[in-house]
Amino acid sequence: MENESRSIVILYGSETGSSQDLAENLARQAKRRHFKTRVYAMDDYDRSQLVEEKLVVFICSTAGQGDEPANMKNFWRFLLRKNLPNDILSDIDCAVVGLGDSSYRNFNYPSKKLYKRLLQLGANMLLERCDCDDQHYLGVDGAFIPWTAQFWNIVMDKYPTSKPILSEDGIDMKVIQNTRITAPDHFQDVRHIELASDQLAYQPGDIAVIMPQNLREEVDMFLDLMGWSEYADQLIRITPNEEAVLPWPEQLKFRDLFIHHLDIFGVPRRSFFEMLAYFTKDENLKERLREFSSPEGQEDMWNYSLRPRRTITEVLFDFQPLEIPLDYILDVFPQLKPRSFSIASSIKVHPGRMELCVAIVKYKTNLKRIRRGVMTKWLATLVPGDIIPGVVIMKGTMSLPPADTPLIAIGPGTGVAPMRSFIEERVAIGTKQNVLFFGCRYHDKDFYYQDQWNAYQNKGQLMLYTAFSRDQRGKVYVQDRILEQSSLLWDLIDQQGAKVVLSGSTGKMPDQVAYAFKQIFMKEGGLSAQESEAYFSLLVKRGQYQEECWS
């Protein structure tokens, strides 16, 4: 019989993003196994809900000399309260993953303390703590991948499902359209990307997981820098050793190893500098590299690498001459990691098609150099006819309510993507109780899908409220428009059971939107501040208020 409480919460403490990466990786695995999945930084999670959870995974890295990452410090202080009963977590299944570097004395100290404290509070630990080690030749994956296999064996026995696990293989999709939908003079390039496949199936709110590629011309420049150009078109064979846990093609061109598999334009981690120190004969360079990987050199490494977002290739340029033996390539360079995008279309409206709304990542650092995201830099180059291989469709954290339940959709910026999939689907089945709050900078520069929203509104299929933050002297945001519609929203939520869905970037926006709703509950419902908080928590708990935000 299928367990009715198949939900998982993944809480991470991350200093540089590594723990968040693992949390999102585990979340994708959970969604493939049909778990209702939520991911939060520990300090962003509503701690009052913890005792209500059934299955919680904690993932935390190590900061400084064994300290907790900044975004879990409040959560950790909460767990240390002396007045917490020693059985308060007795109904919760837990697991803990730690990230650290075994060359440090306090290796994975935060996760070890967390594991011990959870046991003291009565948590049911499903399996031993996972200790990911930067020193492993596969990095954190060396411990994380075999641990997740053990974790899912235990979890799937305890939380069975009759549904098949979704495949990781994905489908190949053809690019039909790749169009800029922001004004030419707008600072941000946002693309409407249309893809096609005759194997396509998805639901509103689903997510497309895509593996990025490095651009061939940039890879060729990298090969030239490393003195490897002569090998570019040679076929190589990869023979995994006994410890290998990552899948690799048996044979491929040397150039394709760097186009499709290895991350040479991401920001390096500490272990990368330690590894490089073995491959230079220059004693000054060797000393500097080892300093970056030492506990005492963390501030210098931050200023050199993390703060300016200096890439692996730029680091290699700075530390020439280097001689990395070909046998060590898979040890030195991390693997490319997939990225997730909310699907921005309904398959009922676009049969055989999937549409995305993607902001191309481009920014300047304090080095005054232009930075471009590995994934979106590649996506921006795609033209009709190109193929994107291995696209995986997964469940998102939001879902549609029944057709007779009103929908309140909030999607500032590219957060409007899943809202478009929801609203298209609802219009297609004849549901007219749809409300959309959309925010951007300028009406004439980044009002995504303006014509479509106006058409729906003219036909009585949508109530549209817009916030253009830079079109007037005082800035206006979606939370301001929400407050202006307090009477309407209170009636929809409290009297008609409307579902609220929110999508967009993390930061202040989700909290400010939540605060606006709590203000409405007090103003229109006559609730006290405490009652308003409880009412909001109830909406979240029963899935009437859902959000999907990203950093």
Where is the domain boundary, 286, 312, 332?
332
19 annotated ligand binder: no
Instruction: Specify if 416 maps to a domain.
Output: yes
Specify the CATH number for the domain of residue 356.
2.40.30.10
Here the CATH number for the domain that contains residue 425 is: 3.40.50.80
In a domain? residue 526: yes
> Do residues 424 and 533 share a domain?
yes
Query: What confidence score (pLDDT) does residue 506 get?
Result: 77
Q: Judge if 323 and 258 occupy the same domain.
A: yes
479 is in an annotated binding site: yes
CATH number at residue 311: 1.20.990.10
Clarify whether residues 462 and 545 are in a common domain. yes
Q: Which contiguous run of DSSP H or E holds residue 172?
A: strand 171-180
Note whether 241 and 305 are same-domain residues: yes
Partner residues linked to 8 by β-bridges: 37
For the chain, the domain total comes to: 4
What is the domain range of residue 133? 7-158
Separation of alpha carbons 261 and 85, rounded Å: 48
- The reply to whether 14 and 148 lie within a common domain is yes
Co-location of 41 and 73 in the same domain: yes
Domain end point (choices 285, 307, 332): 332
CA distances from 208 to 344, 355, 469 (A): 10, 10, 29
Q: Please report whether residue 360 resides in a domain.
A: yes
- Residue 144 inside a domain? The answer is yes
Residue 5 known to bind ligand: no
DSSP letter at 343 equals B
Please report whether residue 474 resides in a domain: yes
Q: Which H or E run contains 409?
A: strand 407-410
- Please identify which residue in the block is written with the tokens 């300093």: 291
DSSP reduced 3-state for 539: helix
One domain, residues 480 and 507: yes
Quick check: is 537 in a domain? yes
137 is in an annotated binding site: no
Grouping H, G, I as helix, E, B as strand and the rest as coil, residue 96 is strand
Annotated ligand binding at 494? The verdict is no
Identify whether the C-beta of residue 96 lies closer than 8 Å to the C-beta of residue 134: no
What is the average pLDDT value for the chain, to the nearest integer?
Answer: 91
Do 49 and 35 sit in the same domain of this protein? yes
Q: Is 432 annotated as a binding residue?
A: no
Residue 114 lies in a domain: yes
Q: Which pLDDT score is estimated for 365?
A: 61
Q: Is residue 525 domain-shared with residue 441, that is, in the same domain?
A: yes
pLDDT of residue 246: 54
Q: Which DSSP state fits 395?
A: -
Residue 477 marked ligand-binding: yes
Q: Report the chain (551 residues): mean pLDDT per 10 consecutive residues.
A: 70 87 90 88 90 94 83 92 92 94 84 94 95 84 92 94 79 96 95 95 93 96 96 88 61 94 90 89 91 84 86 92 90 89 96 96 67 90 95 89 96 96 97 97 96 97 97 93 97 97 89 97 97 95 89 66
364 marked as part of a ligand binding site: no
Q: Does the annotation list 148 as a binding residue?
A: no
249 and 327 housed in the same domain? yes
Q: Are residues 233 and 346 in the same domain?
A: no
pLDDT reported for residue 6: 87
Looking only at the bridges linking them, the beta strands covering 499-505 and 407-410 are parallel
Token pair for 357: 């709304």
| Lookup: tokens for 492 | 């929809």
The pLDDT score that the predictor gives to residue 117 is 95
Residue 476 in marked binding region: yes
134 is in an annotated binding site: yes
Binding residue per annotation — 475?
yes
Q: 411 and 539 share a domain?
A: yes
Query: Does residue 401 sit within a domain?
Result: no
CB-based contact 55:92 (threshold 8 Å):
yes
Helices 141-158 & 18-32, crossing angle to 10 degrees?
30
Q: Is there a binding annotation on residue 63?
A: yes
